[in-house]
Structure 1
Amino acid sequence: MVAVAPVVGELRADTGLSSALAGLLTTLPVLSFGAFAPFAPRLARRIGLETAVALSLVLLAAGIGLRILSPVALLFAGSLIAGAAIALANVLLPAYVKREFRRPGPVMGLYSASLNVGAAAGAAATVPLAAALGVDWRTALGLWLVLALAALALWLPVAGTGRASRTSEPMPAGQGSWSLLRQPLARWVTAYLGLQSVQFYSLGAWLPTLLADAGVPVREGGLLLGLCNVVGAAAALLAPAQAGRMITQRPLVLAVGVAYLVGLGGLLVAPADGTLVWVVAFGLAQGGGFALALTLVVLRSPTPLVAARLGGVAQCVGYLLAAFGPLVLGALYDATGGWTWPLALLLGALVPMTAAGWGAGRRAVLRSGSVSGASPAGARSPAGSAGPAGPAGR
């Protein structure tokens, strides 16, 4: 998805896309993440969790393949399909981790860190690869098809397993994904992931422009953005592992909030002075915060199915909010002629984000129709795997 941004200039020159349509092309995947995430739990019920992940990889490969073809409509269609594929995998993989690992924290850390590293690689390597191979922007985007096919090949040995959990029966009344929001704990988790995603995508989209307006050279701004992603990957690796060992994740929620406060506050008050410190602080916040939000989905769920349902709802709300974040910041920038009000808005959003994280970080798990404190022994999933029902694990 992020590979489009580095080639958008060449893409527009070749296709004649307007700025608005080019902006839609980069926003469309995030909208897809939100729109298709709620369908993942139902798909897993019908064809099995492992098969559903395999299907998401097939769709991902198909979407990337469509972007190579000439009609510009297929560029949009491919982005939509690839976004839908990633939405399914984003929901299903944490549920798989919940089912297969007694202590999911370290595995969620590796998973979250891989998202940061993959995004950094996609943004940094697309143009150099195209230049080294002497290919155009279409082929440069198509090069990432290799990774989709490699992931599918690695997943195939388990793709047909999990037949015992398949069912074509409709979801029982009151057990749909959205019914989880009747429980306060599910609303806290959803709000925290959503508001965290707004921070992640909003400033991430505008950080190079903000630094350039502050007098930071464009090349240096690009390096700082890369550093932000690297620091974020390190934080994403460590935060879930630590979360899994804690009775309550509230200290981590506060740490993420403080890191955001330092990063955003520094960029507001003195963006050209101490820029390295502000960018590192923001990288720690966005990497650790996003990984923590995904981990809370797993830790607050008693079973893999509930984890998939909660992940679908939380990511639907989160990504739809995140898709509008960069637009709102851009509109505020145009209206005020500076970054004071956009950054002030993000700073203000830290209050409800931290409050939601405080509620989501308490030692509790979702139950059918109620919220209950987690016992140290946890709860065994219906599939027979020992997923920890609370943050303390077993």
Structure 2
Amino acid sequence: MQKGHFESHSLKFFLAIFALMLAAANLRGGLVVIGPLVADIRASLDISAAAFGFLMTLPLLCFAGFSLIVPWVANRLAPMQVVAISLLVLAIGAIARVFGDYSMMVAGTLVLGAGIAVLNVLIPSLVKGLFPGQASWLTGVYTLVLTTCAAFSFYSAIPLRDYFGDWHAPMYIWAALPLLALVVWLPMLKVSFKPAAPTNVSSSVWRLPRAWSLAFFMGLQSVQFYVLATWLPRIFMDAGLSDSESGLMTAVFTVIGVPAALMTPVIAAKLRTQHPIIFIITLFGLIGVGGLWVAPAEGRYLWVVCLGLYGGSSLSLALALIAMKSHDMRQATALSAMVQGFGYFLASFAPSLFGALYDWQQDWLLPIAVLIALLFAQAIAGWPIASAGKVDELA
């Protein structure tokens, strides 16, 4: 087993985890906070459903593009420095989104997405490099942080808007949090850490079939998450729920994913193959998305519970497989960049396309039918990487 950087320093170990997870807390909330505010933002900025969907599409394009340069940057700058710079960039983008018109929100979202893109790739790699002996359960904690912050963002958006009388109010929190995370991260700049010296393990993963399996699995689960994060409140509002109750349902969707996100990597690490997990994930997804098609309001609690279990475990498994299927941090960084770059590119147009489908049909039946088909595609895509062995080994 590889030796962890902080394993002999218990206090530093926990402080490093706290700093890393506080940085991770910025990776979803600032993006999904606009979901429950869809009616306010569209009315205030006078934009279409497709234009609103573009605000979710743009960060995913950033994830796809900027993810690919992370291995190059990580080889030239200390990883701790890259995290600090990314948090600063993220803060600048989040602040810019609060002011101005739609064009300013687009520009801020572009900068925000660039900062998040780098952290998306680097944090799972740092988990592998700094804490190799704890990579499985820390991946669960990392995913737990993502889902918890997304849930808080969903749940608090409408109450904060109502309390302050301004739909910008929830966004102020997500502009301040990266600055706090940056302050907490500053002591980490003193940590002398470099990835292990190169081995005979190749960091070139683009020609590996199982890497593409993971990329498509990651991409298709991202399609589901970002479409639901963007349009689930609207689906429930169109089914007759108030905007506050719709926001609550979306928050439940993310909260329910927390225990699934925490436990999935631990269970996955104990299994020779992860095929049973993929089967169960798909089943939960089909129940949840299928329920939205049949009776969105009547069975809403069951649907969001199933969607939450699907979403939390699906994302957590994808991130865990990056660490589990790579030999070392360098290969993990390359695999993370390739998987998240291509995966988010696959997901990048989904919110806008689903918004356009809704604008065309003025109904959610066709978009939901597409989501059901993509659940089957995700299961098929993930089957090879869920087999035994590393990413560069035959199943």
Shorter-chain TM-score tier: 0.7 to 0.9
TM-score (norm 1): 0.82
Q: Distance in 2 between matches of 1:332 and 1:24?
A: 13
Residue 392 (structure 1) aligns with: none
1:180 maps to amino acid: V
2:253 maps to amino acid: C
Q: Distance in 1 between matches of 2:53 and 2:353?
A: 13
Deviates more, 1:122-131 or 1:312-321: 122-131
Q: Quick one: structure 1 residues 262 and 19, their matched pair in 2 at CA, closer, same or farther if it must change by over 3 Å? A: closer
Residue 136 (structure 2) aligns with: 105
1:52 maps to amino acid: V
2:232 maps to amino acid: L
Match of 2:79 among 49, 55, 59: 49
Residue 157 (structure 1) aligns with: 187
Residue 378 (structure 1) aligns with: none
Q: Distance in 2 between matches of 1:112 and 1:16?
A: 35
Is 1:115–2:140 an aligned residue pair? no
Structure 1: segments with no counterpart, 5+ residues: 374-394
Aligned residues: 363
Deviates more, 1:138-147 or 1:192-201: 138-147
Residue 208 (structure 1) aligns with: 233
Q: Is the 8 A contact 1:333 1:339 kept in 2?
A: yes
Is 1:249–2:274 an aligned residue pair? yes
C-alpha distance after superposition, 1:53-98 (max 9, x if no partner): 1211111122223334447644332221111111110110000111
Residue 247 (structure 2) aligns with: 222
2:126 maps to amino acid: Y
Q: Quick one: structure 1 residues 212 and 73, their matched pair in 2 at CA, closer, same or farther if it must change by over 3 Å? A: closer
Match of 2:64 among 34, 37, 50: 34
Q: Distance in 2 between matches of 1:215 and 1:6?
A: 15
TM-score (norm 2): 0.82
Q: Is the 8 A contact 1:67 1:138 kept in 2?
A: no
Q: Is the 8 A contact 1:192 1:353 kept in 2?
A: yes
Alignment of 1:228-377 (within 5 A): 228-367=253-392, 371=393
Q: Distance in 2 between matches of 1:329 and 1:8?
A: 14
Q: Quick one: structure 1 residues 166 and 8, their matched pair in 2 at CA, closer, same or farther if it must change by over 3 Å? A: farther
> Cα offset for 1:18?
6.0
Deviates more, 1:328-337 or 1:74-83: 328-337
Q: Quick one: structure 1 residues 63 and 326, their matched pair in 2 at CA, closer, same or farther if it must change by over 3 Å? A: closer
Q: What SS does the corresponding residue of 1:362 show, helix, strand or coil?
A: coil
Q: Distance in 2 between matches of 1:60 and 1:166?
A: 28
C-alpha distance after superposition, 1:105-144 (max 9, x if no partner): 1111111011111112223324534554x47555652332
Q: Is the 8 A contact 1:67 1:142 kept in 2?
A: no
1:95 maps to amino acid: S
> Cα offset for 1:270?
3.4
C-alpha distance after superposition, 1:310-353 (max 9, x if no partner): 11111112222222223333344444453333222222222221
Q: Quick one: structure 1 residues 98 and 139, their matched pair in 2 at CA, closer, same or farther if it must change by over 3 Å? A: same
Q: Quick one: structure 1 residues 130 and 260, their matched pair in 2 at CA, closer, same or farther if it must change by over 3 Å? A: closer
Deviates more, 1:143-152 or 1:326-335: 326-335
2:71 maps to amino acid: P
2:179 maps to amino acid: L
C-alpha distance after superposition, 1:232-273 (max 9, x if no partner): 122111211221222221111111011112112222233344
Q: Distance in 1 between matches of 2:86 and 2:62?
A: 13
**In terms of Rg, which structure is larger?**
1
Q: Distance in 2 between matches of 1:309 and 1:349?
A: 26
Give the superposed CA RMSD. Answer: 2.9
Q: Is the 8 A contact 2:49 2:359 kept in 1?
A: no
> Cα offset for 1:153?
1.9
